[in-house]
A and B are shown apart, each in its own frame.
Chain A
Amino acid sequence: MKKRILVVEDDQAISKALMFRLSTAGYEVISAFDAITGMAAAVKEEPDVAILDISMPDGNGLDLAERMQKLGKTASLPFIVITASKKYSLRQRALDLGARAFIEKPYDPEKLLGAVRECLGESPQPAGR
């Protein structure tokens, strides 16, 4: 059974790239383009990991993470935060909310996949590809 990753990212190009990268790595990807759809998908689709973009036009990824924590069903969903912002305060807030990783854009795909594996409790990929 493939593990399912929810990607909440408003930029379509980045969402497409993430979709390709993650599905090639063997995961099933659910895409949402805003915080509201993201929340709904987290509840309905029961993903194993969530990747949340912080700055989306109509809703902050960190606010979404906070809402997910408060809801019983999604409270234990491990999540990774990705963002173009280097603001220390955002990083701090993300970690305080329990983010498993904080990844800066443009992202290093190795780092991202590593964070996903860590969330899923999978062993790290052997070196040398």
Chain B
Amino acid sequence: DCEADRMACVRFLGKVSNNTEFILAETGAEGLALLRDRKPDCVLLDLNLPDMEGIELVEQLVAEYGEVPVPIIMLTGQGNTEIAVRALKAGVADYLPKDGMNASSLGRAVQNAQEKHSLRTAVREHRRELEKMVSNLRKKNDEITRFYHTLSHELKTPLTAATEFVLLLLEGLAGSINEQQAEFLETVKESHSLMTLHINDILDATRLETGKLSLHRDSIALADLIDRVVATFGPSARDGGVRLEFRREDELPRAFVDERRITQVVSNLLANAIKFTPNGGQVSVSVGLERGSADRLRVSVADTGRGISQEQLPHIFDRLYQVTQDDTSIHGGLGLGLSISKDLVELHGGEISVASVLGEGSTFTFAIPAIPRGEKYLEPVKESVR
């Protein structure tokens, strides 16, 4: 509001550059009106105006625009640093004491204020864009989950009837069948089983990908569980001429796991081991304690099968990756099993790894945290693996 101060600013900035246009105001209200109207590149604002405090003007702008719309430099008198700091907090770009102000200090202040303001505006803009992107991605995630749930349901429904009718026929409940009919029906039955497995795998993989798979954990005796799983593979091992062996250490601590999911992991590893081991070979499963900074339970499935080459080894847990060899075609399966197993183990706070020698065999090992003695359960480690 002081004429002398206004003219001083004009004079100083006139020295710095000669194509600056100056818009002058005497009161806060006049200043606001001109600001809205003329949209200046920078505002020099006095601390005290006849009709309001300088800081009030800033606050009014923020209320109106949601943010400070132009760079503002507050001109202060002696010893007003406290107010100046308040002004900075309110959104002012800089403050400059009128005492000792000269062309160069004012010129620099104006330039810095403009740069600071444009950086701030850019950051705000980016943040808004990112938030929009995140919100869209979340929506997309939910859409994908819903789609796969529907898909899974729609596929399982006809599969249910198909499976059951084949079973009814095989049981002779619709009339006796001859050997060839039985054989054909068995093949259909196996195809149906595979379809069911694939659909379940797709749903699991999707849930893991979208972070929607949750574990239901309980304190269990892991070795007992694995013993049971191994037993269920007895027939299939016998069919393949593979010797199946199970070893366990004594007095193992309990594990806090989702029984169904760990069964899924062990079943996946066992099924692979048996599948890739020729007649006369052996698959050994062992459960032991791994001591360390935190004790873990280690489970390994070792086979004397065809092994995995060094090139393929690093990719073995990738989604949709399948081991192929020159002389044989893809062995069936969606290639999701190991990727799902890895995700499930990691969701439990564990680790999975593989060692293999081509032509000799492979050993898949996973380790999960053990429940320390005297405690009931472990705190959950992760919400999701992605």
A positions within 8 Å CB-CB of B: 11, 13-14, 16-18, 20-21, 24, 55, 84-86, 88, 105-107, 109
Contact = CB atoms under 8 A, between A and B. Distances in A.
- The majority secondary structure among interface residues of chain A is helix
B198 interface: no
Could you tell me the dominant secondary structure of chain B's interface residues?
helix
A85 B153 contact: yes
B156 A105 contact: yes
B203 A17 contact: no
A106 B153 contact: no
B161 interface: yes
Contacts of A20: 168, 173-174
A14 B168 contact: no
Contact of A16 (B149, B152, B161): B161
Interface in B151-182: 152-153, 156-165, 167-168, 173-174
Nearest to A88: B216
Interface in B181-201: 192, 196, 200
30 contacts: A11-B160, A11-B161, A13-B158, A13-B160, A14-B157, A14-B160, A14-B161, A17-B160, A17-B164, A17-B168, A18-B164, A20-B173, A20-B174, A24-B173, A55-B153, A84-B153, A84-B156, A85-B149, A85-B153, A86-B200, A86-B203, A88-B214, A88-B216, A105-B160, A106-B163, A106-B192, A107-B160, A107-B164, A109-B164, A109-B167
Interface of B: 149, 152-153, 156-165, 167-168, 173-174, 192, 196, 200, 203, 214, 216
Contacts of A84: 152-153, 156-157, 160
A27 B161 CA distance: 19
